């Protein structure tokens, strides 16, 4: 699925699949903002894997988020001018006096030549360390002292943007790219398990020992008649387009 420029998606809600009393469509489901999703990245141990492909013929800002969160830079970004893919994240200052700390971890050797053919990127958090993988091969790590800043707890996970609602165009990080799959596994940091989940057909996920650790799992070709993307995990964190009122 192509995420178009300024038409980003978000993972934000937990959906209730019971019947909707006021509508003849069963698909018009109720949903509530999920605290689990908001606080996803503040957990101690997890891994998130995304399969995507870049095409610079598609419209994008100079720097744009493959995934991100509003506030100070957070997420997986691609810088067109520098041809660099990087993980960016702010963590809390070590002391009250020191300011928040910016962490930048570039995927060395992973440029457009590779990304245009499609890549599988995994970001692992192991307590105070982020480890990054390209196609399940380690390509970098960074250590930090304190947890991520609390600003990130205010919003879900955004796809194809960073700050869609900001009035400052350079801070929006809007982009366009092709996304195939995305999944998040909590309490598991073994890259071989990420690889196993990636290679498991969605209907067979239930047979994995790690099934319950999968918080969401999307195949972006599985979309319903309301344009919502299905969650193949045991949860109902479906993905939807961010409504236009939240986009500048």
Partner 1 sequence: MSEVIGNNFKEIKKKLDKVGCGFCLAKWTQVTMHLNDGTTHSCHHPAPHKIGLREIQKDPTSLHNSITKKKERKEMLEGGRPDACSYCWNIEDNSDSFSDRVYKSEEEWSKPYFDEIKNLKWRDNFTPKYVEVAFSNTCNFKCAYCGPSYSSKWVEEMKEHGEFSTGDGFNSLEELKRQDMVPIPQREENPYVEAFWKWWPELYQELDTFRITGGEPLLAKDTFKVLDYIIEQEEPNRNLKLSINSNLCIEDKLFDKFLEKARKIIDEGRVKEFIVYTSVDTYGKQAEYVRTGLDFEKLFKNIDTLLTELPKLTVVIMSTFNLFSPFGYEKLVKKVYDFKLKHFNTERYWNSPLILDTSYLRYPSFLSFRILKGYLNVEYFERIEKYMKFFSTYRSLNSYKMENTTDTGFSLKEIEKITRIKDIFLKDIENNEDFSKSKEKFLNYTKDYQKRRNLDCVEYFPELKKFINNDY
Residue appearing with tokens 């959906």: 15
Does position 234 bind partner 1 by CB under 8 A? yes
CB of 7 to partner 1, least distance (A): 18
Closer CB to partner 1, 18 or 117, in the complex: 18
Using CB under 8 A, pick the residue from 136, 195, 236, 247 that binds partner 1. 236
Residue 82, interface with partner 1 (CB under 8 A)? no
In contact, 13 and 33? CB cutoff 8 Å = yes
Report the nearest approach of partner 1 to the CB of residue 25 (Å). Answer: 7
Which tokens is 116 given? 């245009």
Taking the least distance from each CB to partner 1, the nearer of 189 and 228 is 228
Are the beta carbons of 29 and 16 closer than 8 angstroms? yes
Q: How many Cβ atoms from other residues are within 10 Å of residue 199's Cβ?
A: 9
Question: At residue 150, what are phi and psi to the nearest 5 degrees?
Answer: -75, -20
Q: Which stretch binds partner 1 (CB under 8 A): 49-57, 123-131, 140-148, 233-241?
A: 233-241
Residue 238 engages partner 1 in binding (rule: CB under 8 A): yes
Q: How far apart are CA 162 and CA 67, in angstroms?
A: 7
CA–CA separation, 229 vs 224, rounded Å? 7
Binds partner 1 by CB under 8 A, chosen from 39, 141, 224, 248: 224
Query: From the CB of residue 26, how many other CB atoms can be counted at a distance below 10 Å?
Result: 10
Dist. CA 2–CA 52, nearest whole Å = 10
Determine which residue in the list 32, 94, 98, 206 makes contact with partner 1, applying CB under 8 A. 206
What is the footprint of partner 1 within residues 94-153 (CB under 8 A)? none
By CB under 8 A, tell whether 245 contacts partner 1: no
Q: Does 230 bind partner 1 (CB under 8 A)?
A: yes
C-beta of residue 62 within 8 angstroms of C-beta of residue 81: yes
**How many residues touch partner 1 (CB under 8 A)?**
18
Q: Using CB under 8 A, which residues numbered 4 to 33 contact partner 1?
A: 17, 19, 24-27
Binding to partner 1 (CB under 8 A) within 185-204 occurs at 201, 203
Q: Which residues pair with residue 31 across a beta bridge?
A: 15
Task: Quote the distance between the C-alpha of residue 163 and its chain's center.
Answer: 14
Q: Which stretch binds partner 1 (CB under 8 A): 65-73, 90-98, 113-121, 226-234?
A: 226-234
- Candidates 22, 225, 243, 245: give the one binding partner 1 (CB under 8 A): 225
Which CB sits closer to partner 1, 201 or 243?
Answer: 201
Query: How far apart (Å, rounded) are the C-alpha atoms in residues 195 and 199?
Result: 6
**Do β-strands 101-106 and 45-53 pair in parallel, antiparallel, or remain unpaired?**
unpaired
Residue entry with tokens 């990304």: 115
> Which residues bind to partner 1, rule: CB under 8 A?
17, 19, 24-27, 201, 203, 206-207, 211, 224-225, 228, 230, 234, 236, 238
């Amino acid at each position: 699925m192509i995420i178009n420029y300024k038409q980003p998606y978000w993972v934000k809600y937990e959906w209730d699949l019971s019947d909707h009393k006021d509508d003849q469509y069963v698909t018009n489901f109720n949903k509530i903002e999920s605290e689990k999703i908001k606080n996803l990245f503040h957990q101690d141990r997890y891994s998130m894997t995304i399969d995507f492909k870049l095409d610079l013929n598609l419209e994008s800002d100079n720097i744009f988020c493959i995934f991100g969160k509003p506030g100070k830079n957070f997420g997986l970004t691609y810088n067109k001018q520098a041809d660099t893919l990087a993980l960016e994240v702010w963590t809390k200052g070590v002391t009250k006096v020191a300011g928040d700390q910016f962490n930048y971890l570039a995927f060395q050797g992973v440029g457009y030549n590779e990304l245009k053919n499609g890549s599988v990127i995994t970001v692992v958090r192991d307590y105070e360390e982020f480890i990054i993988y390209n196609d399940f091969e380690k390509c970098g790590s960074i250590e930090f002292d304190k947890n991520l800043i609390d600003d990130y707890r205010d919003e879900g996970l955004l796809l194809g943007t960073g700050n869609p609602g900001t009035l400052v165009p350079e801070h929006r990080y809007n982009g366009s790219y092709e996304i195939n799959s995305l999944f998040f596994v909590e309490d598991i940091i073994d890259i071989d398990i990420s690889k196993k989940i990636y290679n498991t057909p969605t209907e067979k996920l239930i047979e994995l020992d790690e099934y319950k650790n999968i918080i969401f799992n999307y195949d972006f070709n599985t979309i319903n008649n309301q344009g919502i993307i299905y969650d193949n995990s045991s949860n109902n964190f479906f993905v939807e387009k961010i409504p236009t009122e939240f986009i500048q």
